[in-house]
Structure 1
Amino acid sequence: MAEEGNKSSMKGRSKGHQKLWQRKQPRRELVDLGTLLVQCAQAVAEHDHLEASELLKKIRQHSSADGDCTQRLAFYLADGLEARLAGIGSQVYRNLMERRTSTTDWLDACSHFHSSCPFDRTAHYFASQAILGVSQGQPRVHIVDFGIGFGLQWPLMIQRFSQQEEGAPKLRITGIDVPQPGFHPCEMIEETGKRLADYANMFKVPFQYQGIAASRWDTIKIEDLNIDEDEVLIINCMFRMKNLGHETEAVNSRDRVLKTMRRMNPKILILGIVSGLSCSPFFIQRFKEVMFHYSSMFDMLDANFPPPDNKARKMIEKILFGQDALNIIACEGAERTERPESYRQWQARCLKAAFQPLLVDPATLKNIVQMKNKLSHEEFFVVEDRGWLLQGWKGRVLYAISKWEPNETHDDK
């Protein structure tokens, strides 16, 4: 039934995207920005500078960072095409990444995003239910978070631990993330630890934090994580596996990270992924996937961010969406750090690494659906498919989350 529900929700995908890209633009020449963008991408792929430049000029005339969702997306995709055409994609991307954004402003923008769109809220609830399920009654819990970022997932979890009848366990979080550019590469990881420690202290939850900066997660050594057999070990990785780098036939960093996670022998692995096909080595196929993925994201923001929140919306679109899209479009090799795969591809990877899937708890699914119906726009959907909780907008799957346990019959330590 889940499969049928998923297929049903996906039916209108192509028509929905076609309508999205062919919206009439008042007081301007009627153009199909989607077609122009694909034509431009083809010219860029063929190194036809004259044709690509003419198409870019036309796209610029009909796009704007302040227009409707189609015009805004075209504005950012054009940045990626322009950088690729000039052969400076990696340089442009590095410059964007090195620009400092106020932590307060960024957290405020993220708060607006999370309250308007249910993806993170749902994923965090799913994860907290899974963690509570395996740690009930246990005195010590150790969460290793690959890609902790600002740690926005953990205040709710700390609060839930504090409400347990038997009292809160001793909580240890190991936060892993890539070092930031600049003079203080570990600043974000350390600041996250301080904020979480303050939060745990507020709710009287015994707390310990260890931050690890690692550019390549496949080089992390298990002994550096200080795992204690007396602790319930939980591995969490929320929407960051897409950043695991350059894939080659000889070294597959994603499989290596999953094998490291398996050797850690956790009680549970919670894996959230951005579901997409932007890993393709073929540029045109990759560009079309980016265009359709982000057309859904920009359309979703249009429907869920009221006008007073334009500043927050613009920050999300520029930093979260625009930079990622530029990286996929304009960068190659090791410089391309955005490589989303579909949840079915991750299913195969996890099975290969000797994990076995755990089914979505029916009560958790019911609560998530009820929350979605009560708090979110009707075009958001959430369905279950073979142990994956799928979330999306207007029929397109955008995010997926699942939970896994070590497969003891296929012990590949």
Structure 2
Amino acid sequence: MDGGKEQQLEEQVSENMDSQHAETRKKANNTQPISYLDEAAKKENLRSLPSASVHLLKKFFESKPVRKQSTNAPSSTSSSSSKELSTNDILKTARERLLQHNTQNLDMISLAVGGLFAADSGLPSEKNEDLKLAILLQAAVLKFSNQQFDDARKLLSLCQTFASITGNALQRVVCYFSAALQGRIFRDIGELAPEAPAEGNQSMPTLEEALTSFQPVVAVCQQEFPICQVAQFTAIQAIVDNVATAKRVHIVDLGIKSGSHWPIIMQALAGRHECRLELLKITAVGTPKERIEETGKKLSSFAETMSIPFAFRLIVSDMKDLEEDFFELAADEVLAVYSDMRLASLLSSPDHLESLMRTITKLNPCVLVITEIEANTNAPTFLDRFDAALSISAAVFDCIEDCMDQENPGRALMGVFFWEMIQNIITTEGEERIHRYEKLDFWRAFLTRFGIVEIAMSDLALCQLQLVVKTNPRWCSCTVELNGKGLIIGWNGTPIKSLSVWKSQQDDG
């Protein structure tokens, strides 16, 4: 792609961003370190790229609160050498310094005051307090793993004293993990576990309560959280690429949430001139019925404004109970399946996961797009699970800190999700531990057993991904790497989410 077309493509994505940030965004584009995507962008023609304007999401959810520009937004011109240390950097330093000492006979008083470990840490002086807190948590989990429960509880009590659910990313991570580890100790010794972390006088709601009461916030959270945006826009482009010549398109969304991503594909399909769309059908799978019906009404209303022939169907069912007959497929429909962090929810019941995949295989979709959390919290040993959950949580809370203002309601929703995840991974075993995640290589080995093959994403999809990252200067720490034919999306280099595209081998016959 020549320079003029590349500029035209970028303007297509960012035309509705506030004009006052245009110069900042331009500078951010010049420093974004995703070089392989630049090469992909140069190869692609402009014709089929859907307009990924942010105004579509704003129009779909008009009631969303407007985020104020933070005075602490990262500078788009800052160099990587001066960039602030990540929470994972601090945790790594804490672990290294801790392992230099005999953890069996660790002096907790010295540890608490931090004099022994903070000296010559190599970190900026303002980070020493965070380092002390990180060491406390790391020491506590080592004491727990050695079944030194009294020492572990004393260390965790100190964590709770100095950590805060409303503090910086490191403090929030330590607050959640120390509370969960306390709960695990109480469970193991047969005592009543302490209450969940609280903000002020408000106790932490359950995830289901949060999704119900914060429902309008779900779309806000997806917009403000770059990992979601990058994955969604890339997934949408992958679907558009594979239904390019279909007149009747049927999309199955396994576990639909706010549905805020589907107006983008509506615009993409409505803009086709060489192959007019006769019907777009979206089948949403999930519960509760009332929430998904509301999503369907909003999608239908939006489709009407776009003059798109549209149908919305709802399948109220658990994933494990899905059967081929539920989907009412028509012979002239081209089917695409979108699974956003759904397969891992069945890892605790392998038979149910295999049943779901057999059902999807029978549907014979032309494309299957899968995103999953890129971490191995399904490891057999507790310490490996703890470290995996800690690493990804630290990256996510850094991302929240960088991208969401303090008053943004999405912070609370993300906090609820990760508290439930952390608590479940650390305090439970067996079938109770439902937050089991695996890395992309695991999913490759699993999916190929069902007669489907991984396919590469188009250069256009990769170019789209690059431009989405560049639309917001706050997102400059978002990292994207090719992994085979799939993508790994992360923050400050720590993997958070994988995205892969698949096709049934039945289509090759």
Report the TM-score range of the alignment, normalised by the length of the smaller protein: 0.7 to 0.9
CA distance in 2, matches of 1:135, 1:77: 44
Measured against aligned partners, the alpha-carbon deviations of 1:45-85 in whole angstroms (never above 9, x if no partner) come to 55544223212211101100121110011111122212222
Partner of 1:182: none
Cα distance between partner residues in 2 of 1:389 and 1:169: 32
Aligned to 1:70: 170
1:81 corresponding residue in structure 2: 181
Equivalent residue number for residue 139 of structure 2: 39
d(CA) in 1 for partners of 2:145 and 2:344? 24
1:333 aligns with 430
CA distance in 2 between counterparts of 1:340 and 1:125 reads 23
Partner of 1:357: 454
> Of 262, 285, 308, which residue of structure 2 is paired with 1:205?
308
The residue number in structure 1 matching 2:478 is 380
Larger Rg: 2
**Alignment partner, residue 397 of structure 2:** 298
Q: 1:246 aligned to 2:348?
A: yes
CA offset at residue 318 of structure 1?
Answer: 2.0
User: How far, CA to CA, are the matches of 2:312 and 2:381 in structure 1?
Assistant: 42
Indicate the residue corresponding to 1:146 in structure 2.
Answer: 254
The match for 2:89 is 18
For the structure 1 residues 25 and 186, does the alpha-carbon distance in structure 2 shift closer, same or farther, using more than 3 Å as the test? Answer: farther
Q: Report which stretch shifted further, 48-57 or 22-31.
A: 22-31
Deviation at 1:30, TM superposition (A): 6.9
- 8 Å Cα contact 1:275-1:341 kept in structure 2: yes
Alignment map for 1:186-205 (pairs within 5 Å) = 186-205=289-308
CA contact (8 A) 2:130 2:171 kept: no
Task: Report deviation, 1:20.
Answer: 5.2
Gapped regions of structure 1 (runs ≥ 5):
7-13, 180-184
Deviation digits for residues 95-136 of structure 1 (CA, Å, limit 9, x no counterpart): 94376337574433641x334332222222222222222223
Measured in 1, the distance between the counterparts of 2:211 and 2:347 equals 27
Give the letter aligned to residue 403 of structure 1.
Answer: V
Do the aligned partners of residues 63 and 92 (structure 1) sit closer, same or farther apart at CA in structure 2, a change above 3 Å counting?
Answer: closer
| Secondary structure at 1:235 match in 2 | strand
Letter in 2 for 1:386: G
Q: CA deviation at 1:229?
A: 2.0
Contact 1:381/1:391, CA 8 A, preserved across alignment? yes
Q: CA deviation at 1:26?
A: 5.9
| 2:321 is the counterpart of 1:219 | yes
User: Deviation per CA, 1:254-281, whole angstroms, max 9, x where unpaired?
Assistant: 3332232112111111111111011113
SS in 2 for 1:100: helix
User: Structure 1 residue 24: deviation in Å?
Assistant: 7.0
- Counterparts of 1:297 and 1:353, CA distance in 2: 32
Contact (CA 8 Å) 2:336, 2:366: kept in 1 or not? yes
Q: What is the aligned partner in structure 1 of residue 445 from structure 2?
A: 348
Tell me, yes or no, if structure 1 residue 97 matches structure 2 residue 199: no
| Conserved? CA contact 1:278–1:286, under 8 Å | yes
Query: Percent of counterpart pairs with the same letter?
Result: 22
- CA deviations on 1:135-178 (whole Å, 9 max, x unpaired) are 2342211111111122222121122222222443311111112x
Q: What's the CA shift string for 1:330-380, capped at 9, x where partnerless?
A: 222222221111011111111122111111212321232243234343221
Task: Tell me which residue corresponds to 1:161.
Answer: 269
- Native 8 Å contact 1:391 1:398 kept in 2: yes
Counterpart amino acid of residue 207 in structure 1? F
Partner of 2:331: 229
* C-alpha RMSD over aligned residues: 3.2
Structure 2, unmatched stretches of 5+, are: 1-34, 38-84, 95-122, 198-203
Q: Which moved more, 1:203-212 or 1:372-381?
A: 372-381
The one-letter code matched in structure 2 to 1:196 is: L
- Farther off after superposition, 270-279 or 133-142: 133-142
Corresponding position of 1:391 = 489
Structure 2 residue 257 is matched with structure 1 residue 172 = no
The structural deviation recorded for 1:218 is 3.0
The answer to which of 196-205 and 68-77 deviates more is 196-205
